[in-house]
Structure 1
Amino acid sequence: MLKFIGSGSAFNTKLGNTSAYYKVGNQMLLIDCGSNIFHRIKENNLLEGIDHIHVLITHTHADHVGSLADFIFYSYYSHGEMAKPNVSVYSVYDVKIEELLAINGIMPGVHCLSKKCQSDTQYTFNFCKVLFERSSHVKEIPSYSIELCIDDRLIYYSGDTNTLKESLRNPMAYDYVYVDTCKADYEGNVHLSLRKLSELVNSDVRSKFWCMHLDESFVRQEAEKLGFNVVTNEF
């Protein structure tokens, strides 16, 4: 359903930072824009035919927002009509993405459009419905998962997390569940290990799950043998 520009964890440079997108006509939905994502977008002409980009932000770790300012400046000056904002950024109030962008010289309302959202509230954005839901990740910054409804398909995108909410353990309502999954498995891990995911999800519903945000030790075949899917980069 979603396509992936990158599927790796912060340090998995081979797979790139995890970022997903979806296109409808001349509109594009982009989830996160980590440190190497703008480069991948530009090198692969991903914006061809696109007039407006809607960016959903899960949290402010660099592997999720590190090239967002570059992407906005490029879109403002070099993509579409010059000096006309064609990027809308959506995030929950406490993520403070506007403050981060301001440090990089981005003025919301000038270089981009900005929408601050409440968590656990559904919003309708052009071709999809979006709901942000708080995730368990790190204590230092707030992190959110995203529930999407696109073309009558219900999608759950975990962002970074170290657990699953109870309803995802038997996710009959969801068509796709994209979840942060790593091989690393230790006490206090701020990401969800494949072992833990296997304990939380029954084998009969694992076909709905797609592992993403993969660390360098992650073995695709191991996850697939357990019944999970593993995302693949589009590029």
Structure 2
Amino acid sequence: MKTPVLNFLGIGSAFNPYFNNTSAYFEFDSELFLIDCGEGVFPNLYKLKLLERYKTINVLITHTHSDHVATLGHLLLYCFYELNKKVRVFFPEDSLISSLLSSMGVAKDIYELVKLNDIFIYKEKLTIISIEQAHVHEIPCFGYIIETGECRFFYSGDSKTINQLILDKFLKGEIDFLYQDTCSENFNGNHPHLSLAELSQLIPPEKRSYVFCIHLDIKFNFNLASSLGFRIPEQIQI
């Protein structure tokens, strides 16, 4: 059985301060790969001294809601001016990220911005495939299929559905783990997040132990999710 590679700094939604904003990281070829950088993420990285530990730091952004990018500017400024490191930022809509960072006072020359096309291959071993997600109308949101050599997983970002391509690949065993945005209440598709009830309809019982519920709201029933066979990532205690 494959082993999950993600380490979670937070598993909460924007309105759930008890579990921090959802953000995770993994290590590849001695480099740090961080997914999202919302409120509280930079302070947690700082306390863990993760930014000092890695020579190269990469950040994948799923979308630009504040619970996913609020401390991205702090991260870039700190790494450049205090650690002499230029962070690499990945996002399919590069102009959106550069405009956002400019509005934060972050100059373009202190970070490297990589426009993620459909498939990005890094060092011939790491593969990142961007998948546009259905979340809100105002801004684009992306999920990522990531293959590290150890496993292949899908990180949903924020989404009110599971893309049919992703679901098919997962059910056929072509994706090892799903990290899925899951909320407590069922609005039958009229909500920017996928409900636990909807997730249960999509994932058969025998596959649920490979699904991690993330971006959890304040009303989310951990016991119910576990009893249904789904998993909750362990959050690093700081």
TM over 0.5: yes
Gaps of 5+ in 1: none
1:162 pairs, out of 152, 160, 163, with 160
Given that 2:22 and 2:38 are in contact with CA atoms closer than 8 Å, whether structure 1 keeps it comes out as: yes
Given that 1:25 and 1:50 are in contact with CA atoms closer than 8 Å, whether structure 2 keeps it comes out as: no
Given that 2:94 and 2:113 are in contact with CA atoms closer than 8 Å, whether structure 1 keeps it comes out as: no
**2:97 paired residue number:** 97
Given that 1:26 and 1:49 are in contact with CA atoms closer than 8 Å, whether structure 2 keeps it comes out as: no
- Name whichever of 126-135 and 64-73 sits farther off: 126-135
- Name whichever of 202-211 and 121-130 sits farther off: 121-130
Q: In the alignment, residue 213 of structure 2 is paired with which amino acid?
A: C
CA distance in 1, matches of 2:28, 2:143: 22
* Percentage of identical aligned residues: 35
**2:225 paired residue number:** 223
**2:53 paired residue number:** 49
CA distance in 1, matches of 2:29, 2:90: 20
Give the match's secondary structure for 1:181: strand
CA distance in 1, matches of 2:40, 2:172: 32
CA distance in 2, matches of 1:198, 1:77: 47
The structure-2 alpha-carbon separation of the partners of 1:95 and 1:15, relative to structure 1 and needing over 3 Å to count, comes to farther
Q: In the alignment, residue 49 of structure 1 is paired with which amino acid?
A: R
**1:63 paired residue number:** 67
Given that 1:95 and 1:143 are in contact with CA atoms closer than 8 Å, whether structure 2 keeps it comes out as: no
CA distance in 2, matches of 1:54, 1:211: 24
**1:206 paired residue number:** 208
* Paired residue total: 228
- Name whichever of 91-100 and 139-148 sits farther off: 91-100
Residue 123 of structure 1 pairs with residue 120 of structure 2: yes
Q: How do 1:99-114 residues align onto structure 2 when only pairs under 5 Å count?
A: 99-108=99-108, 110-114=109-113
Residue 11 of structure 1 pairs with residue 15 of structure 2: yes
2:149 pairs, out of 147, 151, 156, with 151
Relative to the length of structure 1, the TM-score reads 0.92
2:42 pairs, out of 38, 44, 55, with 38
CA distance in 2, matches of 1:125, 1:69: 24
Given that 2:181 and 2:216 are in contact with CA atoms closer than 8 Å, whether structure 1 keeps it comes out as: yes
CA distance in 1, matches of 2:90, 2:12: 23
How far did 1:95 drift? 6.8
Write 1 or 2 for the structure with the bigger share of helix. Answer: 2
CA distance in 2, matches of 1:132, 1:202: 25
Given that 1:171 and 1:205 are in contact with CA atoms closer than 8 Å, whether structure 2 keeps it comes out as: no
The structure-2 alpha-carbon separation of the partners of 1:221 and 1:95, relative to structure 1 and needing over 3 Å to count, comes to farther
Relative to the length of structure 2, the TM-score reads 0.91
Residue 135 of structure 1 pairs with residue 153 of structure 2: no
How far did 1:31 drift? 0.4
Q: How do 1:162-181 residues align onto structure 2 when only pairs under 5 Å count?
A: 162-167=160-165, 168=167, 170-181=171-182
Given that 1:94 and 1:142 are in contact with CA atoms closer than 8 Å, whether structure 2 keeps it comes out as: no
The structure-2 alpha-carbon separation of the partners of 1:61 and 1:95, relative to structure 1 and needing over 3 Å to count, comes to farther
Detail structure 1 runs of 4+ shifted over 3 Å in the superposition: none
Given that 1:132 and 1:144 are in contact with CA atoms closer than 8 Å, whether structure 2 keeps it comes out as: yes
CA distance in 1, matches of 2:95, 2:19: 26
Give the match's secondary structure for 1:230: coil
Gaps of 5+ in 2: none
